[in-house]
């Protein structure tokens, strides 16, 4: 899901591609062509490295901002959105809104976050109740209650198995895998403060170096909090986290939804995962009324519970104390925040400079009061005309996908019928949700930033708990309107396209159609195709886990996708470090499929007329260049390493190479055998 655009010299562009097959009268176009012609590097052959060809001149001069781990098209649109939301947040209190109103909450949240003097004055006092509860743990029953009271819902909406929590477990609430009519609770593994288990277990020298620096960070944070024996306690923390990492399941295994279908009754937990007092845990978590819970990673749940039973209370108290300090550090006095940034930003991401406080305040407000800010954002920055245009574009892409289904010779009628049913029932959300989140019960104070955040996280958890056992809301959104991204929700058979991604340079109502289809069209096509990828194929039109492929069709699909996985295995992101094609497979499938459908929809939009040549570029060239420039990116090595270990998306420069699987790309850029990206026709991966 992602990116795009803009301008240069027509004669050079025409020289390397020859005469276009569908050339019409050349037309001059202004800056709205949607392509950055100046960013193209004509010294690179498109068939050798299309990413460098489309972006090479930009890459030569692009500088990653000191407070960022990467830059590119995504950052360009993110920074525009950040500026817009910052203005809205800062002005929220200008008209003296009533106490308790969303505008008042936004203003007070931001003001509290920005008041560094008050934060310094409060010190660790806002964290005292949590630290005192940890210090008072005197039995395994106490430990279970503290662990349960800390359960929270903090899931990456793009990948529910990627759970970002330092709590031992995390909660995810959505419909049942086999019962699409009601919501249920899913328990997911957690417990780590570094990005993934690889950071604890990998033999890679870079990972080993991160572990050394992590230990030093744990020591420093504990010392800053005035905790005695910081060195010894840091040893305990790192040792216990390493044991947790060993108990966790890997990313690829966690992505397998078939392994996640494990409904346990309350009695099952004591039998299948002894060591943790589950009755006390679930009561403290507010889940004691549930008859059953889906355990996403059963072996991890068993292993983590065993650690609760086997490791001494003192070790758990040290771990929980550190995790409490670590999670709160950005909202504690400056020495704590600086330590946190030094490790998570400077060390793990390679980012040399911390963001200005106002940017951090805007980001935090957008997270904890996301829908409140989102309402203001769409009122000012997402006109009805843009929504209507994108909705039409979505319809065109869905129509192209439907037509494509009729042309797939390998697909049997039974599978085709199921696919069409799923396509017809696909619920597409554009811009913003139909129903906004209610923050009326959330207390926000102008002088309690950490308390505001903790209460917001708890408010979100209670919102998720309230959905349990209720009918499924098919229109629920998992992203705010000001999020620069998009998502497919297989269980809801739904798509969310937030307003922020539906603007230039991804989508520009004034730009050439080829650029819009190559950029936002490929993004939309990507999300649509997720309903039919290696995970989407496991869910029917109602979101029930049910494979709707015939055995022959499934065999063809798996064979094609395995070729794609091997294609991505070949890409070397850092010296000696390759992309894991199995890990990124779902996103790579969606890139190929989305680009294919966007290309078909673009040509359908021409109404049978040849595309004009604009600034020396044919329609196909502009389409593929828009796609290649949408993935424009430059990233720091440390950040790249982290993404390779934790992300289900391939690095941007390799996603741009998706073009080599489309037949139309070859004549558009005169790509010949012998060039590095050339694939023989039978080696090009065609899925949809």
Residue 165: per-residue pLDDT? 62
User: Helices H, strands E: what count in the chain?
Assistant: 29, 11
* CA–CA distance, 194 with 354 (Å, rounded to integer): 19
SS3 content of the chain, % helix, strand, coil (to 5): 55, 10, 35
Domain with CATH 1.10.1380.10 in the chain: 140-331+454-472
CB 330 within 8 A of CB 337: yes
Short-list 177, 427, 425, 155, CA closest to 293: 177
Residue-averaged pLDDT of the chain: 91
Burial per residue of 511-541, b for 16 or more beta-carbon CB atoms within 10 angstroms, e otherwise:
bbbbbbbbbbbbbbbbbbbbbbbbbbbbbbb
Distance between CA atoms of residues 496 and 430, nearest Å:
6
Which of helix, strand or coil describes residue 623?
helix
Dihedral angle over CA of 505, 654, 498, 89, nearest 10: -70
Sign of CA dihedral 35, 36, 37, 42: negative
How far is it, in rounded angstroms, from Cα 364 to Cα 122? Answer: 19
Rounded (10°) angle between helices 313-328 and 128-135: 170
Q: What is d(CA 498, CA 373) in angstroms, rounded to the nearest whole number?
A: 13
| Vertex 79 angle, CA 78 and 80, to 5° | 90
CB 88 within 8 A of CB 380: yes
- Which tokens sit at 254? 């966690």
Does residue 443 contact residue 455 with C-beta atoms inside 8 Å?
yes
In the DSSP assignment, the letter for residue 677 is T
CATH architecture under which domain 10-80+383-435+481-683 falls: 3-Layer(aba) Sandwich (3.40)
What string of H, E and C letters represents the secondary structure of 581-617?
A: CCCCHHHHHHHHHHHHHHHHHHHHHCCCCCCCCECCE
pLDDT at 179: 87
Under-50 pLDDT residues of the chain: 1-31, 156-164
CA distance 437 to 452: 17
The DSSP element (H or E) to which 574 belongs, if any, is strand 572-574
Q: What is residue 17's predicted lDDT score, i.e. its pLDDT?
A: 30
What span, in angstroms and rounded, lies between the C-alpha atoms of 81 and 74?
11
Helices (H), 2-101: 10-15, 50-61, 73-90
- Check whether domain 140-331+454-472 has CATH 3.30.565.10, yes or no: no
Please give the pLDDT value at position 182: 86
Q: Pairing between strand 292-295 and 487-489?
A: unpaired
Q: What are phi and psi of 188, to 5 degrees?
A: -125, 155
pLDDT at 154: 62
What residue spans in the chain does CATH classification 3.40.390.10 cover?
A: 10-80+383-435+481-683
Q: What is the pLDDT of residue 547?
A: 85
Query: Cis link prior to 54 (omega < 30° from 0)?
Result: no
Separation between Cα atoms, residue 392 and residue 380, nearest integer Å: 22
φ, ψ of residue 292 to 5 degrees: the values are -150, 155
- As given in the structure block, the two tokens for residue 523 are 């993004």
């Amino acid at each position: 899901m992602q990116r795009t655009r803009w301008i240069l010299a027509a004669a050079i562009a025409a020289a390397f591609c020859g005469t276009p097959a569908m050339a019409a009268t050349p037309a001059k176009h202004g800056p709205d062509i949607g392509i950055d012609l100046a960013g193209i590097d004509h010294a690179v052959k498109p068939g050798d490295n299309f990413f460098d060809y489309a972006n090479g001149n930009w890459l030569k001069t692009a500088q990653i901002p000191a407070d960022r781990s990467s830059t590119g098209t995504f950052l360009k649109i993110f920074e525009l959105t950040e500026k817009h939301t910052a203005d809205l947040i800062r002005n929220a209190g200008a008209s003296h809104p009533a106490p308790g109103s969303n505008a008042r909450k936004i203003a007070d949240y931001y003001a509290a976050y920005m008041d560094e003097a008050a934060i310094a004055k409060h010190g660790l006092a806002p964290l005292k109740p949590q630290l005192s509860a940890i210090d008072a743990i005197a039995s395994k029953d106490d430990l279970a209650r503290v662990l349960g009271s800390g359960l929270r819902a903090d899931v990456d909406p793009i990948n529910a198995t990627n759970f970002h929590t330092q709590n031992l477990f995390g909660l995810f609430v959505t419909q049942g895998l086999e019962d699409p009519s009601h919501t249920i609770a899913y328990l997911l593994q957690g417990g780590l403060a570094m990005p993934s288990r690889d950071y604890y277990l990998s033999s890679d020298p870079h990972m080993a170096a991160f572990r050394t620096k992590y230990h030093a960070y744990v020591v420093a944070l504990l010392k800053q909090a005035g905790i005695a024996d910081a060195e010894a306690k840091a040893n305990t923390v790192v040792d216990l986290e390493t044991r947790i990492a060993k108990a966790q399941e890997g990313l690829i295994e966690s992505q397998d939804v078939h392994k996640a279908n494990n409904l346990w009754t309350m009695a099952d937990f004591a039998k299948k995962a002894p060591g943790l007092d589950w009755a006390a845990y679930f009561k403290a978590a507010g889940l004691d009324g549930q008859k059953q819970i889906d355990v996403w990673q059963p072996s991890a749940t068993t292993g983590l519970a065993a650690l609760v039973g086997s490791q001494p209370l003192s070790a758990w108290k040290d771990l929980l104390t550190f995790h409490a300090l670590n999670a709160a550090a950005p909202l504690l006095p400056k020495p704590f925040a600086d330590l946190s940034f030094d490790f998570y930003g400077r060390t793990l991401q390679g980012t040399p400079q911390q963001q200005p406080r106002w940017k951090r305040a805007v980001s935090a407000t957008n997270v904890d009061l996301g829908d409140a800010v989102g309402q203001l954002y769409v009122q000012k920055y997402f006109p009805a005309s843009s929504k209507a245009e994108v909705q039409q574009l979505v319809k065109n892409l869905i129509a192209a996908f439907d037509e494509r289904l009729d042309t797939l010779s390998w697909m049997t009628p039974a599978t085709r019928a199921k696919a069409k049913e799923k396509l017809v029932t696909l619920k597409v959300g554009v811009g913003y949700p139909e129903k906004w989140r209610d923050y009326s019960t959330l207390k926000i104070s102008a002088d309690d930033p950490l308390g505001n955040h903790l209460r917001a996280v708890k408010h979100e958890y209670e919102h998720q708990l309230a959905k349990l056992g209720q009918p499924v809301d098919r229109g629920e959104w998992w992203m705010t309107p000001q999020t620069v991204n998009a998502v497919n929700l297989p269980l809801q058979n739904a798509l969310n396209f937030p307003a922020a991604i539906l603007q230039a340079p991804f989508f520009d109502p004034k730009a050439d159609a080829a650029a819009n289809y190559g950029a936002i069209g490929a993004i939309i096509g990507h999300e649509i195709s997720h309903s039919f990828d290696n995970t989407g194929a496991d869910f029917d039109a109602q979101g029930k886990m049910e494979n709707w492929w015939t055995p022959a069709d499934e065999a063809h699909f798996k064979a094609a996708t395995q070729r794609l996985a091997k294609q991505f295995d070949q890409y070397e992101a850092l010296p000696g470090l390759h992309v894991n094609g199995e890990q990124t497979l779902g996103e790579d499938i969606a890139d190929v499929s989305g680009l294919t459908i966007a290309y078909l929809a673009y040509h359908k939009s021409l109404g049978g007329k040849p595309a004009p040549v604009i600034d020396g570029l044919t329609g196909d060239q502009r389409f593929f260049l828009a796609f290649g420039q949408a993935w424009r990116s430059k990233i720091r090595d440390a950040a790249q390493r982290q993404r390779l270990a934790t992300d289900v998306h391939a690095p941007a420069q390799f996603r741009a190479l998706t073009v080599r699987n489309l037949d139309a790309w070859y004549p558009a850029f005169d790509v010949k055998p012998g060039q590095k990206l050339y694939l023989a026709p039978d080696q090009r991966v065609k899925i949809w």
